[in-house]
Amino acid sequence: MLAKRVIPCLDVDKGRVVKGTSFVDLVDAGDPIELAQRYDQEGADEVVFLDITATSDDREPTIRLASRASEQLRIPYTVGGGMSDLARMRQIVAAGADKVSVCSAALKDPSIIDRAARAFGSQAVIVAIDAKRVGKADKWVCYLAGGRIATDVDAVAWAEEAARRGAGEILLTSMDRDGTKEGFDLALTRAVSRVVPIPVIASGGVGTLEHFAEGILEGEADAVLAASVFHFGTFTIRQVKEYMASQGIPVRLDF
């Protein structure tokens, strides 16, 4: 089994890291580069920067952030938010990002996934899915613009299409669980993981060390992503990885 990744996520708004619950009630969590450097030193496998208002504000993603990260970080990093076309993605990759994450633009025009995969390689293209449960059945729909606009697109079917079009990974966030510290939506994570041949990053809801392991063992994800438990000092990357290793999950500890 390949090593499973632990990925801190930094939601960025106006140059600062913020965190809320179910995508609202945001509080300041610090400087994005300073936090990312700390996670790099602690042994994070990657970091993700998401400009959470770039799409809703209809502006370009933060090129300066991508450039600063390339100068300060040793680990791979992803930039998402505002990736409305190939030109904006190209700017972020040119600034040094290893991967770009696209969400709203791909739902509006799925062919952008094909074009991005051809331009940068599938390994550099992450399709982010912000999903919310509909009713009591195991059905989830996708949301646009940082969780602000509902669609009728089935999240599991959309993940399948994204993979088929050339996405290299799926960043799967449960809007119902985001910031709640109640654990991943394991049914959602498992449903997507079982229908796509590419890695799935579980996101939304981590509150305990057990939740990280559950995302891998029960959710069948390839990586686990969290924000507030890292930003506010609940756990270190090392603590998370040591716990995962104790549960028989292969992780990279040689840092």
The residues annotated with a catalytic role in the active site are: 11, 130
Q: Beta strand 47-51 with 5-13: parallel, antiparallel or unpaired? A: parallel
- How crowded is the C-beta side of 39, counted as CA atoms within 13 Å? 34
Rg over alpha carbons for the chain, rounded to the nearest Å, is: 16
CB proximity list for 217: less than 8 A, separation 6 or greater: 247, 249
Give bridge partners of residue 11 from the DSSP assignment.
18, 50
CB proximity list for 5: less than 8 A, separation 6 or greater: 45, 46, 201, 222, 223, 224, 252
Distances (CA, A) of 124 to 84, 89, 113, 115, 229: 16, 10, 11, 12, 27
